[in-house]
Amino acid sequence: MNIKRAYTLAIIVMLGFGLMLGYAFYQLLRVERSLASYVGENMLWAVNQADRETRRFSDALLLDNADKDMVLLRLEILQSRIKLLSEGPQLEYFQKIGADTQLKNIIETVGRVEQRYGTGDNFALSDILSLYREIQPVFSDFGRIANLSMIYERDAGGANRDRQLQIIYLITAAVLGLTTVGGLLSWLLIVNINSANRANQELLRYQEELEAIVEQRTNALSVALKNEKKANEIYKGFLTTVSHQFKTPVAIIDLIAQRFIRHPQDIDEPNVLEAAGRIRESVSRLSRIVESTISGEIVDHEGVKLNKSDFDLVEMISQTIAYHQEIYAERTVDFDQQVQAFPYHGDKTLLEQIIINLLANAEKYSPPDQPVIVVVRCEEDVFSCRIKDFGAGIPASEADKIFSRFYRASNVAHLSGSGLGLSFSRQIAEMHGGELDLAALGEGHTEFELRLPVTGG
């Protein structure tokens, strides 16, 4: 019972000294802030510089009057010094010390001198002397401002020193009191340490058993969560891929139907045969997508599975551009074929999806009157396809993030999109042993480059 009372008393005393120490630190913080905002010496320097420029101007007025440009330069420098004193914290400081009247007189005097000198020409000696006499009161005003600043800083410095001394005494007393109470609490803790150790040992034994059980459950939950998260990511990527692949053939079929509806006079045998062939090609592509979706062959535990075949990369890109131009007839796509044919072994459907994604982004993020430039070349055993648009561009600070899943650049966040196209396109390129990178960026243009090894993925 006595120990409990001693603890209570010690805690009450410690709280009292703690509050005292906290108050002392609060006062120290106030002093520190006042020192951080100390502008007295800076103000004296600024006033001295302005006074010196006033004297230089008056000297130039008397001695260099023949060189009006020199006098105007001195007047401009003087005005810049005065402007520095009459803005922001400087003006607040002068108002605090009661020097705003002198500052106002200085501004008005220099303004009158500027008006007289700036509008006149071929001043006579009497005019120069008149201007010189008019600028003379500025010297006295600067002297009064400097005196007021020195007196204010002297008084403020003395008050700060007195406050700091009081805080030092207060902190010393608080620290001594806390040290004493801390010693008492330490003795009380030592008295109770033996009984506490026995209880702690028993508690630790139960705690270790509980932690082992919690760790086992946590590991199981962590594994389940990772598996679920990975499955969700694969599912989202899969859905995005399928939705993108559905868009092009469906859009082509719809485009052909719209053309027949709007221009029924064009429905003759050659046009019908050509349109039917394209519809059958689009339907065939849709069938392949549906079959892959139902069988689940394009998705495994690691993501997307490749269905490789031999095809011409340049021909595939050319057809994709043609499909895109049919859907977006207003857009001009300049296709620069520096290589005419390029046999390749890979997944044609997925590689075509990369081109579709990049063309779709160029269509979405650039004005319709701006062209899209596509360049294909083969250099040093690497096939390259560059797609450049002249649209919103990508901020340089976000260039390393645009291939992250679900990430969208801040300047196009208001437009529709999932943020999955570039991420999935890069994944497809890497699965073929290639790369998809941002080749160039800037305000008003964006350029992506797809690079694939000539040996195939």
> What is the average pLDDT value for the chain, to the nearest integer?
77
Q: Residue type for 145, please?
A: I
Instruction: Give mean pLDDT, residues 154-161.
Output: 74
Tens digits of per-residue pLDDT, 88-102?
888 888 888 888 888
Answer yes or no: is pLDDT of 342 > 50: yes
The encoded tokens of residue 59 equal: 């000297």
The encoded tokens of residue 218 equal: 């946590």
Alpha carbon distances (Å) from 66 to 62, 113, 289, 290? 9, 17, 89, 92
Instruction: Give mean pLDDT, residues 375-402.
Output: 85
Q: How many CB atoms lie within 10 A of CB 32?
A: 10
Q: Which helix (H) or strand (E) holds 248?
A: helix 125-262
What is the band of 449 on the pLDDT scale with cuts at 50, 70, 90?
very high
Answer yes or no: is pLDDT of 278 > 90: no
Residue indicated by tokens 């007025």: 61
Answer yes or no: is pLDDT of 29 > 90: no
- For 327-345, letters b (16+ CB in 10 Å) and e give bbeebebeeeeeeeebebe
Instruction: Give mean pLDDT, residues 338-360.
Output: 89
Contact status, residue 23 vs residue 167, Cβ threshold 8 Å:
no
- When mean pLDDT is compared across 253-262, 404-413, 417-426, the lowest value belongs to 404-413
Q: How far apart (Å, rounded) are the C-alpha atoms in residues 75 and 70?
A: 9
Burial of 387 (0-12, 13-18, 19+ CB in 10 A): buried
Q: What is the pLDDT of residue 292?
A: 47
> What is the CA angle 222-225-229, rounded to 5?
140
The radius of gyration of the chain from alpha carbons, rounded to an integer in Å, stands at 41
Kindly report the backbone phi and psi dihedral angles of residue 372, in degrees, each rounded to the nearest multiple of 5, phi listed first.
Answer: -115, 130
Answer yes or no: is pLDDT of 235 > 60: no
Residue indicated by tokens 């703690």: 18
The encoded tokens of residue 43 equal: 């103000």
Tens digits of per-residue pLDDT, 279-293?
877 776 676 566 545
Q: Residue type for 257, please?
A: A
Q: Residue type for 82, please?
A: I
Domain 2-194 fold? Four Helix Bundle (Hemerythrin (Met), subunit A) (1.20.120)
Contact status, residue 311 vs residue 344, Cβ threshold 8 Å:
yes
Tens digits of per-residue pLDDT, 243-273?
656 666 777 787 778 777 877 777 777 777 7
Q: How far apart (Å, rounded) are the C-alpha atoms in residues 172 and 238?
A: 69
Answer yes or no: is pLDDT of 343 > 50: yes
Q: How many CB atoms lie within 10 A of CB 43?
A: 24
Q: Which helix (H) or strand (E) holds 377?
A: strand 372-379
What is the band of 295 on the pLDDT scale with cuts at 50, 70, 90?
very low
Q: What is the pLDDT of residue 237?
A: 56
Q: Residue type for 327, please?
A: I
- When mean pLDDT is compared across 199-213, 300-314, 329-343, the lowest value belongs to 300-314
User: Is domain 309-453 annotated with CATH 3.40.50.620?
Assistant: no
Tens digits of per-residue pLDDT, 350-368?
899 899 889 988 888 888 8
Q: Would you kindly state where each structural domain of the chain is located, as residue ranges?
A: 2-194, 263-295, 309-453
Answer yes or no: is pLDDT of 49 > 80: yes
Residue with the larger pLDDT of the pair 254 and 345: 345
The encoded tokens of residue 294 equal: 């139902």
Percent of the chain at pLDDT exceeding 70 = 78
Residue indicated by tokens 């050659």: 270
Longest dimension (CA), the chain: 111
SS3 439: strand
DSSP string for 13-34: HHHHHHHHHHHHHHHHHHHHHH
Closest CA to 45 of 134, 138, 153, 135: 153
Q: What is the pLDDT of residue 91?
A: 83
Percent of the chain at pLDDT exceeding 90 = 11
The encoded tokens of residue 23 equal: 């108050």
Alpha carbon distances (Å) from 321 to 269, 313, 326, 331, 350? 26, 12, 9, 11, 15
Q: Residue type for 437, please?
A: D
- Express the helix, strand and coil content of the chain in percent, nearest 5 each: 70, 10, 20
Contact status, residue 429 vs residue 452, Cβ threshold 8 Å:
yes
> What is the CA angle 345-236-250, rounded to 5?
65
Residue with the larger pLDDT of the pair 204 and 28: 204
Contact status, residue 341 vs residue 314, Cβ threshold 8 Å:
yes
Answer yes or no: is pLDDT of 154 > 50: yes
Closest CA to 81 of 57, 65, 59, 64: 57
Q: Residue type for 354, please?
A: I
